Structure 1
Amino acid sequence: MNKKYALDNLNLNNIKAQIKKADNVLFFLDYDGTLAPFQPDPLSAFALPEIETNLKELEKKEAYYLSLVSGRKLAELKKMIDLKRSNFAGSHGLEIELFFSEGVIYPYQTNEIDVLSKKNYQKSKEKYLAKAGVRLEDKGFGFALHFESEQKQLKAEKDLKALFKNTAYQVLAGRKIVEIRPAGWDKGQAVKYISNQINKKLGIDNTLQIYIGDDSTDEDVFRVIENGITIYVKNEDDLSTEAEYYLYDPEDTAELLVEIAGEN
């Protein structure tokens, strides 16, 4: 992967220099594989303690606005990490909670689900509920399939993409996970929405966007951030990425956050 390792001294100094030039930093982070190592049981995949500590330090800095953007359901995401002055975007941004607003926001909703799309959705849900080697997570407006093996995931991904082609649903794939959800919204759209709300409601300018993520779904964010800092967490895969920098794993994320939180 021909990208720059974020913790190399030269690259780290460049990142810090960009941050120092900004009056305000809009800091977006994925959760699983970025802040928390992967676990067989997603409910036991807690953020590394040093990561949570340093995010709490960043929350105290007036110039920082933190947002977690995850494929997890919003309520579940908020249980995984204890942050008070941060924004949370669950289900790839289909449900958002802003620290300066009341209630949950659903920035993208559509009632225009055609009969064929609904039929395919229900048929797929029933099929995978009864299938061995896969766990179905019902998210209400969509569902996620968690696979025991990548081989099973790839087969299901191929079948589902063919089934839902040109329908009101989209198929998103990650590490041993395939998700069926309404088409037309993704993490990139969610980051743009949150950024606009922060700028509009809080009246700030000269902002720098930072995004750290590890999955193919995070590529939607890397593509929309301009003149910001994009960092891909590699984990064990060597995927091509639109991000400028990379880290190896959540332990690297922790080290980077130590460096950033320690800056004045």
Structure 2
Amino acid sequence: MERSDTDFSPRGIVLTDALPDPATIALFLDFDGTLVEIAERPDAVKVLPETQGILRDLNAKTRGRLVIVSGRRLQDLEQFLPEFDGVLVGSHGAERRLGGVHETSSEGQSASFENTCRTLRAWAGKQNEILLEEKPASLVLHYRQAPSMQSECQTIAAELAAVMPGFVARSSKMAVEIMPKAISKERAVLRLMKDWSDRLPIAIGDDRTDEDMFCAADAQGGFGIKVGEGETVARLRIDNVAAVHALLRRWTNISGASR
């Protein structure tokens, strides 16, 4: 039988079981490559009006247990999702908005972090099409517009992280990030699940950093859904952003979930 974009599968095997009632789950969604298509520059992504509506409806169906978990800064998520009033986790967990309250980790408040900021600003300023993104607790070198610079970006990030106590260089899609070892999407999910132990955690994402979310969901009795190709620890797989939207719409259409 031909597989449609709305099917998702465990490592290639089509899963046709009914979706769990959204009132019984905690749903953790990545942003770039999951809710929106990846753009050449982080500020160039487009959020469809339909996406805003889906998130609003699904947040109601899950009774506030829908979470956007992203490597992006919290203020960027709020800018892209102005209609979403649910839980936001930014900077891989260094920032959080829960119940309208904003929290920020103090991990980036150190002399070594500021020194690295200055070093990378000077270096990136001399490179063509290398974008330095500064976050509250991490620094990202984006080389999507200059893929030939991948090795050099990864090398300088690794060298700088090596002399920053408690920091590490982590690669993602066309980028490398210097970030605290204590910060991860896994810890962000586990922190929320301490108060949501009655829910089934489901994590959906496309990037290497989302593997942490999948591990957290598994550890709490749930599962991960990998978007697109590539090796993964997730038990299930879905094709692309359009398929994610179709899956989320199916959840919003489940009757009786918000009774």
Which category of TM-score, normalised to the shorter sequence, fits these structures? 0.7 to 0.9
Q: CA deviation at 1:86?
A: 1.0
Give the 5 Å matches for 1:1-264. Answer: 7-8=7-8, 11-14=14-17, 16=19, 19-20=20-21, 24-61=24-61, 63=63, 65-98=65-98, 100=99, 102-106=100-104, 108-110=105-107, 113=110, 119-120=115-116, 122-147=118-143, 148-165=145-162, 167-168=164-165, 169-196=167-194, 198-199=195-196, 205-226=197-218, 227-234=221-228, 238-264=229-255
**Distance change (3 Å), C-alpha of 1:62 and 1:32:** closer
Q: CA deviation at 1:166?
A: 6.3
Residue 202 of structure 1 corresponds to none
Maintained 8 Å contact 1:6/1:246: no
**Distance change (3 Å), C-alpha of 1:14 and 1:143:** same
Give 1 or 2: higher helix fraction. Answer: 1
* Aligned-partner Cα distance in 2 for 1:111–1:56: 32
Q: CA deviation at 1:121?
A: 5.1
- Structure 1: which 5+ runs fail to align? 200-204
* Aligned-partner Cα distance in 2 for 1:181–1:263: 39
Q: CA deviation at 1:23?
A: 5.5
* Aligned-partner Cα distance in 1 for 2:8–2:120: 46
* Aligned-partner Cα distance in 2 for 1:206–1:142: 33
Matched residue count? 244
Residue range with higher mean Cα deviation, 149-158 or 65-74: 149-158
Secondary structure of residue in 2 paired with 1:28: strand
Q: 1:213 is aligned with what amino acid?
A: G
* Aligned-partner Cα distance in 2 for 1:8–1:96: 29
Q: CA deviation at 1:233?
A: 1.0
**Distance change (3 Å), C-alpha of 1:244 and 1:154:** farther
Residue range with higher mean Cα deviation, 80-89 or 65-74: 80-89
Query: Aligned Cα RMSD in Å?
Result: 2.7
* TM-score for the superposition, normalised by structure 2: 0.82
Maintained 8 Å contact 1:37/1:250: yes
Q: CA deviation at 1:82?
A: 3.3
- Structure 2: which 5+ runs fail to align? none
Residue range with higher mean Cα deviation, 211-220 or 38-47: 38-47
* TM-score for the superposition, normalised by structure 1: 0.81
Q: CA deviation at 1:34?
A: 0.4
